[in-house]
A and B are shown apart, each in its own frame.
Chain A
C-alpha cells in the first residue's frame, strides 16, 4: 500500500487547477491522509501556466515532496515543465497528445495516457468546465479512493451555491471519469492508497487559520487593502465577522488600513489589518505611531517575493528585518512567526493578547507558502481561548481614579488605558513625545523617562512570549534553525537524516522579536554546525541572530530566493556539501 504520494494538477490559469486541487486535497484528507498543497500560480487571471501540488502522506506530512507520482495536465505544454520531476513508475494523464513534445529519454519509466477531458465534458455536459470533476473521477479510480467521498465533497461544494441539478451533473461527471480511467489504465498502473480515519482533522490554509484566530480572539475591526497573498484573511473574515458584531473595511490604501485599525483600537475594539510586501512598506509610518502612542494592534503580514512588486504569488521570507528593525524611531514591537497552520491560529489569538498586554503592535509574520496552501491540521481548542485585555480599565474603575494618566509611569512601564466615552478618563493619545496625560512635551527629562518607560515594557516579557521550540535529537551537535513555513520541509529533512544515521536537531524560532537570545544562545552552544534555512537572499534570520548573540559554532546559510519553495532534497544536498 502506498503511504506517500505527490500529485500535480497542471494547466493554464483559468483551467480550474485550483478547484481540482482543492477538492482532491479534501478527498485525501477525508481518507485519513495528511495533506499539504503547494500552489504555483502566476500573478495573472487567465492564460499563463499554473500548477497545484497535492502531497499526501499516511503519517506525518511536512510539505512538498521531491518527485511527482501522478501528473494530470489540462494542457500538454505543462508536461514538459514537470517531466524532470516525475518519478519512475509515475503516471502522466494528459488532455491531448503529448508525444511530440517529449523525447524518448524523457518518457522512459513513465506511463502516459490520453484523457480527453474537454471532449468528454463537451459531449456529455455541453460545457468544458465539467472536465475538472471528470478528472477527479479518474484520479479517484487510480488512487482507489471511495467515489462516495468525492461525491460528498462535490455536494458540499456545490449544493448551497449551485443547486441540486448541478450536483447531480457533477456526480455523473465523476462517474464518467472513474469509468474512463478504468478503461484505459491497467490495474498495475494504479496507485492504491492506504486508508485511515481522518479523526476530524481540518484542511485549511494559514490565511484562513489567521482569520479564524482573529474571530476567536474577539477581533471586531479589520481594515485592509487588497493584496496578494494576504487577501484570503480578509475574504474569510468578511464572511463571518458580522456574526460576531465585527466589521471589515476596505480602505483606500495601507496607510489608511493601519491608521484606521489604530483609531478603532484606541476607541476600544480589538483591531487588525493584514498585508504583504509593498503594503507593509506603506504601513511603516503608522507602525511607528502605534509604538509611540502605545496602541495595541495586530498586523498579519503574509510575505511574498520582493523587492518592489516582485512576484506577488510566490513565497519569500525577506521582510523579517523590516518589521523587526523597520520604521522611524525606537519603539517596542513583537513579531511572531508561526510554523504550522495550527500555530497561525494559536499565535493570532496570542497576538491580540500580547498587543493589549504590552500596548504595542504585534506582527504575525507568515509567508505565501503558509498563507495560501492547505495543510491538514488539528482543530483548534476553542474552549481554551483566553482573552487578556491587559490594563484596559473598566469605566467603574476609571471613575474612581483621581487623576487619570494614560501614560502613567509604572514599575512595568505599562500604563492604564481608558476608552473614549468613559467618564473621568479624558486623555490625549499622542504621536508627539508627551507627558503622562498624553499632552505634548519637549521636556528633556520627561523624554528620557518616557522612552525608558516604553522600551521597558517588553524587558520582562520573556515568560509571556511564545517560546522557541526544539525538535529532534537533543544530543546531536548538528543543528538547524528556521522560522515560519520552512518548518515542515525541514522536519522531513530531519527524518531523512535520521534514517541516514546522522540525527540533527532544529530550533524553530516562534517569536522573532523580542529576540529570544537565551534560547538561541543555549542552542548554538550545544552545536558544532548550525544551518540557518531561510527563503531570502541576504540571510535575514542569520543577520538577526548575529546581531543579538555571538555564536561560536560554525554557522551555515541555506538560502532560497527562487520562485519555488524548498524541497527536502535541496536542503539535504546543501548540508552535505558544507559538512
Chain B
C-alpha cells in the first residue's frame, strides 16, 4: 500500500490556513487509499491559486490556460483511458471562463474527477468578485456590492446530465477524501465542488461561516443520492448548503467507452506504422 507521502512532491506555499491545504491533503489520502500509482495519474490545473497544486502533488501534470482544464483533461483521458485524470479548478476557472467546457464535459460523461476549489472570490488576482460570490458581495471589483446572482456548479451539473455530483468542505479533509475516493472510482464524470475558504481576501465566507451555513448530507440516513428528485430538491431548496454526495447515477456508459474503437488499445500508445492496404482502399474511392 502506498502512503499519502508518495504523492507529496513539495511543501505548498499557499497562505497559512488556505482551504487548498485541505484539498491537497484529501486528494493525497484518497490516492493512497486507492493505492494509485503517481505515474498513472495526471493532474490538470487551471489558473488561480489552485494551479500551484501541480507543483506540490506528485504525478504527471498539465498546467495550461485559464478555464481550459476540461478540454485538456478530456483529450488526455480519451488518448489514454487507463490513466486516472484529475482536473482541478477554482470557481473562476470552472464556472466563469471555463463554464462552456464544464457543462459539455458533463454532457459527455467522460471519466474525470473534477475538483473545483470554490472560495467565492478571485484570490490570485487580489480579490475580485467571482461567479459564485453572493449577491451584494463587496470586493475590489464590486465596491458597491455585486448585482449578479451567484452560480451553483452542483445545480448546473444536475441540469446538464451529471452522474456524480458532490460537495465537499476543505475544513473537513477526512470527509472530502472519502468523496474524492468515490469520485476517482466513478465510471463517468465526477464533480466535487469544494467550499474552500480564502483566508486573505474573503472575509465573509470563512471557515466559521461555512460551518454555520452547511450541513452534512451523509448524516441523514433518509437521504438517497440515487434518487434524482430528492437530489434536485436538495440542491434547489435546502435551507443550508448540503455537503456530501448529492447525486449519483450508475449505468450511463462513460463517453470514452462509447467512442473509442478499442478502449484497451490506447490511442496514445498506438503503433503508427501505416496499414497501406487499408488506406489504399480508401484512396481508391477517389478514382
Chain A residues in the interface with B (C-beta under 8 A): 198, 200-204, 208, 212, 215-218, 220-221, 223, 240, 242-247, 249, 251-253, 255-257, 259-271, 285-286, 289, 293, 379-380, 382-383, 385, 387, 389, 419-432, 438-440
Residue B278 CB within 8 A of the other chain:
yes
Q: How far is the CA of A259 from the CA of B67 in the complex (A)?
A: 10
State whether A293 touches B64 (Cβ < 8 A).
Answer: yes
State whether B83 touches A267 (Cβ < 8 A).
Answer: yes
Q: How far is the CA of A218 from the CA of B79 in the complex (A)?
A: 13
Chain A hits for B273, CB < 8 A: 218, 387
List the 10 closest pairs (A to B, CB-CB), nearest first.
A263-B75, A218-B272, A268-B268, A267-B79, A259-B71, A420-B60, A263-B72, A264-B75, A220-B267, A260-B75
| Shortest distance between the CB of B170 and any CB in chain A (Å) | 23
Q: How far is the CA of A268 from the CA of B62 in the complex (A)?
A: 13
Q: How far is the CA of A468 from the CA of B205 in the complex (A)?
A: 62
State whether B75 touches A271 (Cβ < 8 A).
Answer: yes
Given contacts A247-B78, A421-B268, is CB(A429)–CB(B63) below 8 Å? yes
State whether A423 touches B269 (Cβ < 8 A).
Answer: no
Interface centre among B63, B83, B101, B276 (most CB of A within 10 A): B63
Q: How far is the CA of A257 from the CA of B70 in the complex (A)?
A: 11
Within 8 A of A (CB), among B230-287: 259-262, 265-270, 272-276, 278-280, 282-283, 286-287
State whether B76 touches A216 (Cβ < 8 A).
Answer: no
Question: Which one of B38-46, B115-123, B149-157, B183-191 is at the A interface?
Answer: B38-46
State whether B278 touches A244 (Cβ < 8 A).
Answer: yes
Contact with A along B41-78 (1 / 0, CB 8 A): 01010000000101100111111110110111111111
State whether B61 touches A428 (Cβ < 8 A).
Answer: yes
State whether B71 touches A266 (Cβ < 8 A).
Answer: no
State whether A428 touches B282 (Cβ < 8 A).
Answer: no
Chain A hits for B201, CB < 8 A: none
Cross-chain contact of B71 among A220, A240, A255, A387 (Cβ < 8 A): A255
State whether B72 touches A259 (Cβ < 8 A).
Answer: yes
State whether B75 touches A208 (Cβ < 8 A).
Answer: no
Residue B143 CB within 8 A of the other chain:
no
State whether B262 touches A269 (Cβ < 8 A).
Answer: no
Chain B hits for A203, CB < 8 A: 286-287
Q: How far is the CA of A202 from the CA of B282 in the complex (A)?
A: 11
State whether A267 touches B65 (Cβ < 8 A).
Answer: no
Q: How far is the CA of A204 from the CA of B269 in the complex (A)?
A: 31
Q: How far is the CA of A255 from the CA of B262 in the complex (A)?
A: 27
Chain A hits for B272, CB < 8 A: 217-218, 220, 270, 387, 389
| Shortest distance between the CB of A119 and any CB in chain B (Å) | 35
State whether A204 touches B286 (Cβ < 8 A).
Answer: yes
Chain A hits for B71, CB < 8 A: 223, 251, 255-257, 259-260, 263
Chain B hits for A267, CB < 8 A: 42, 75-76, 79-80, 83, 266-268
Chain B hits for A244, CB < 8 A: 275, 278-279
State whether B261 touches A256 (Cβ < 8 A).
Answer: no
| Shortest distance between the CB of B157 and any CB in chain A (Å) | 16
Within 8 A of A (CB), among B144-164: none
Given contacts A208-B286, A245-B267, A421-B39, is CB(A263)–CB(B76) below 8 Å? yes
